[in-house]
Amino acid sequence: MDHVALTAIDGAPALVELRVRGPEPSVGAGPAAGPEVEPGATTRVAADGLAEAVRRREAAGPVRWVWESSARHYPPLLAAGVRVERCHDLRLARRILRSAPALRAAGSELATAPADAWDAPAGPRAEPVGGALFELEAPAAPDPVAEFARQRAALAAADADGRLALLLSAESVGSLVAEEMRHAGLPWDAERHDAILTELLGPRPPVGARPAHMEELVVRIREALDDPAVNPDSPVELVKRLQNAGLAVRSTSRWELKAIEHPVIAPLLEYKSLQRLHVANGWHWVDEWVHGGRFRPVYVPGGVVTGRWASDGGGALQIPKAVRGAVVADPGWSFVVADAAQLEPRVLAALSRDDAMAAAGRAQDLYTGMVDAGVVETREQAKYGMLGAIYGGTTGESARVLPRLRRAYPRAMALVEEAARAGERGEAVATHLGRGSPRLQAEDWDETRSDAQIARAQQDARAWGRFTRNFVVQGTAAEWALCWMGALRRRLAELGGADPLAGPHLVFFLHDELVVHSPAPLAEAVAAATREAAAEAGRLLFGAAPVEFALSVAIVQRYADAT
C-alpha cells in the first residue's frame, strides 16, 4: 500500500510519496521492524489544483492519504467531487496512541514526550461554502511526515499483534465516513416534520408563544394544582408550587413525579414530553438544521472517551423517535437500516472468550438464548442482568440475577469485574484494540481525612470502577462498529458507480446502527452487504471467536418504519 502525505511547502500544498514498510493492519499481522517511513518524491501543487491532484493520485493506484485530519482536509475534496479510499488521520491517531497503555508499557517516545501541537485541540473546521472553500484561519500545520514517522515507530515498538494499527485504520475510515455522511446529508422531509409537529403540538405558533396542545395542558396543570400562576417551564418555581400543593417532591424529574399519585402528574408529564420535542426538535430545529431536504450534522469521530462518536450541533445522535417519520427516502430510493442486536453483550462474550455466552447468542436473540439455556426465567431478567453487569448496576432485577449470570458466564463476568476493580485501584484499562481509558487524577493523600471524606473517596472510587467496567465494553463495541462501517463502506463502493451519491451510500450512524440511502433496486444487495460486513468486523477484531454478530435489517421508505 502506497502512502502519500498531504503537507505544505512555503504555504502551498504538496504531496509527498512515502515509502512505508510493514503489513496492512489486521490483528495478528505484527509490527514491522526498524525505521520504516522514508519520504520520496515531492509534488508541489497550486492551491486551486489540490483536489485535481488528489483525484489523479487516487486513480493511479491504491493509496493511503496521510493528513492532519479528515475534518480539515476532506470536506473541500468532497465539495470538489473527490472521494478517497483510505487515510491516516494523524490527530485521531495521536489521541489514541497517547491513551494507549501499550505505549506506556513499551516506553515509546510518544508515550513520554510532552504535549505538543498535535495534542492541541484541532482548529475550526474549514467548511465549503457555495462551492468555494471558506478557509478559516488555522495554526500552521505541524509536519505530518515527521508525525507519521513517530506514530509508526510507536506501533513498531508497542503493537506486537497489530491491534493498534487496526484501530488507527478503523478510526481513520470512520473519519472519512463522518465527512461523507455530512456531505451526503440525511434525507429529511420538512413538510412531513411539520405535519408530525402539528399533530402532536398543534399548529406552529408565533415565535415565543406556546403551541396549542401545550397551552391546553398548562390549563389542566393549573386547575389540578388550583394555582393559576404555575409556570411549568421553570423547574425551580414548579418544585415550590408542587410542594405548596402538598406534593412531596424534591425535583421535577420524571422518575420522581411518576412515583406520585395526583391529578397534576399526567398532564405535567405530557407537557414536559411535548415541551422537550418543541424546544429540541421543533420548527426552530428544522429551520436551523434542514436545508435542501437534507440534515447535515457535524459528526465527531472519537468525540467520546470510549471511542464512540459525538456530534457537534443538531443533536444528531439524539434524534427522538417521534420525528423519525420525517426521515424519508428520495423517490426511487430506499433506506437500509441495520441495527446490531445486543451488541455490547456479544462484544463482551467475544472479548472474554466466554463460549457459553457466545452460544446463547448464536442464531438468535441473545437474551432469549439465555432463557433457553435455563440461566434466567425471562428475557427481561436477561436484559437487565446483562445491562447491570456492563453498567455496574447493583440494585433491582439486575442485582437479583447477577449470581446466576456469574455461575453461567464466569469468564464474561470476571472480565467486567476485573475492569471495575482496576478502575477502583486507579489503574487505566483498555479496549480490545488498545484504546486506553483516561487516568484518574490521583488526589493528594490526606492523613487527617474525616470519615466523611473517606466515605466520599470510596464512593468516587466505585463510580470510577463503574466507568472503567463500562469503558472496556462500550469502547470495544465502538471498535466493532467502526470496523463494520469500514467493511460496509468498501462493499457499497463496489455496488455503486463512480459517483458515490448516485449509488448506495451511508447517511447515518448511531453507535450500533447504520442507515444506507440506496437506489431501491440495490436495497437487497445492500442489506446482504451489511450482514457480510458485520461478520467481517467480528473476524477482524476477534479472529475465530465463536460469537455471531446478529443484525436486524429493514428496507424502508421512512426511518421510523425500521424500529
CB of 29 to DNA, least distance (A): 30
**How far is Cα 393 from Cα 389, in angstroms, rounded to an integer?**
6
DSSP 110: H
305 near DNA (CB under 7 A) = yes
**Binding pattern to DNA, positions 196-235, x when CB under 7 A?**
-------------------------------------xxx
Restricting to residues 58-77, name those near DNA by CB under 7 A.
Answer: none
CB of 517 to DNA, least distance (A): 18
441 near DNA (CB under 7 A) = no
466 near DNA (CB under 7 A) = yes
315 near DNA (CB under 7 A) = yes
Please give the helix or strand (H or E) that residue 151 lies within, else none: helix 144-158
279 near DNA (CB under 7 A) = yes
254 near DNA (CB under 7 A) = yes
Binding segment (CB under 7 A) for DNA, from list 10-18, 64-72, 172-180, 459-467 = 459-467
Out of 510, 525, 535, 545, the only residue in the binding site for DNA (CB under 7 A) is: 510
Residue number, 381 or 474, with CB nearest to DNA: 474
| Residue (of 373, 341, 333, 323) closest to 507 by Cα position | 333
Binding segment (CB under 7 A) for DNA, from list 113-121, 312-320, 446-454, 525-533 = 312-320
394 near DNA (CB under 7 A) = yes
243 near DNA (CB under 7 A) = no
| Residue (of 425, 435, 437, 500) closest to 183 by Cα position | 500
CB of 461 to DNA, least distance (A): 12
Question: Do 239 and 250 form a contact (C-beta atoms < 8 A)?
Answer: yes
* Region of 122 on the Ramachandran plot (φ > 0 left; ψ -120 to 50 alpha; else beta): beta
378 near DNA (CB under 7 A) = no
**Kind of pairing between the strands at 12-20 and 2-9:** antiparallel
Binding segment (CB under 7 A) for DNA, from list 33-41, 47-55, 296-304, 442-450 = 296-304
Torsion, CA 17, CA 183, CA 306, CA 392, rounded to 10: -160
CA R_g for the chain? 26
| Three-class SS state of 89 | strand
| Residue (of 474, 536, 481, 439) closest to 171 by Cα position | 481
CB of 152 to DNA, least distance (A): 29
Out of 66, 100, 300, 507, the only residue in the binding site for DNA (CB under 7 A) is: 300
CB of 377 to DNA, least distance (A): 19
Out of 190, 304, 373, 535, the only residue in the binding site for DNA (CB under 7 A) is: 304
395 near DNA (CB under 7 A) = yes
| 326 Cβ contact partners less than 8 Å away, ≥ 6 residues apart | 188, 189, 190, 192, 193, 196
Out of 58, 365, 512, 548, the only residue in the binding site for DNA (CB under 7 A) is: 512
463 near DNA (CB under 7 A) = yes
**Kind of pairing between the strands at 551-556 and 505-509:** unpaired
DSSP labels for 336-359? EEEEETTHHHHHHHHHTT-HHHHH
CB of 79 to DNA, least distance (A): 22
Residue number, 123 or 315, with CB nearest to DNA: 315
Binding segment (CB under 7 A) for DNA, from list 1-9, 138-146, 482-490, 511-519 = 511-519
Question: Do 92 and 301 form a contact (C-beta atoms < 8 A)?
Answer: yes
Binding segment (CB under 7 A) for DNA, from list 63-71, 76-84, 268-276, 531-539 = 268-276
**How far is Cα 460 from Cα 439, in angstroms, rounded to an integer?**
14
Residue number, 318 or 453, with CB nearest to DNA: 318
| 226 Cβ contact partners less than 8 Å away, ≥ 6 residues apart | 245
CB of 299 to DNA, least distance (A): 10
Cell of 298: 457535524
Would you say the C-alpha torsion 63, 65, 71, 72 has a positive or negative sign?
A: negative
363 near DNA (CB under 7 A) = no
Out of 127, 216, 427, 513, the only residue in the binding site for DNA (CB under 7 A) is: 513
Give Cα 26 to chain centroid, integer Å. Answer: 22
Out of 23, 81, 320, 403, the only residue in the binding site for DNA (CB under 7 A) is: 320
Out of 42, 251, 364, 458, the only residue in the binding site for DNA (CB under 7 A) is: 251
**How far is Cα 507 from Cα 180, in angstroms, rounded to an integer?**
8
Would you say the C-alpha torsion 266, 267, 271, 272 has a positive or negative sign?
A: negative
Please give the helix or strand (H or E) that residue 273 lies within, else none: helix 265-281
317 near DNA (CB under 7 A) = yes
Cell of 373: 439455556
Binding segment (CB under 7 A) for DNA, from list 24-32, 79-87, 328-336, 467-475 = 467-475
Residue number, 100 or 343, with CB nearest to DNA: 343
**How far is Cα 165 from Cα 26, in angstroms, rounded to an integer?**
7
**How far is Cα 191 from Cα 363, in angstroms, rounded to an integer?**
41
Out of 205, 293, 393, 426, the only residue in the binding site for DNA (CB under 7 A) is: 393
| Residue 513 CB-density burial (10 A; 0-12 exposed, 13-18 middle, 19+ buried) | middle
Residues contributing to the site for DNA (CB under 7 A): 233-237, 239, 251-255, 269, 272-273, 276, 279-280, 284-285, 288, 300, 303-306, 308, 310-315, 317-322, 384, 387-388, 391-396, 398-399, 463, 466-467, 470-471, 474, 510-513, 563
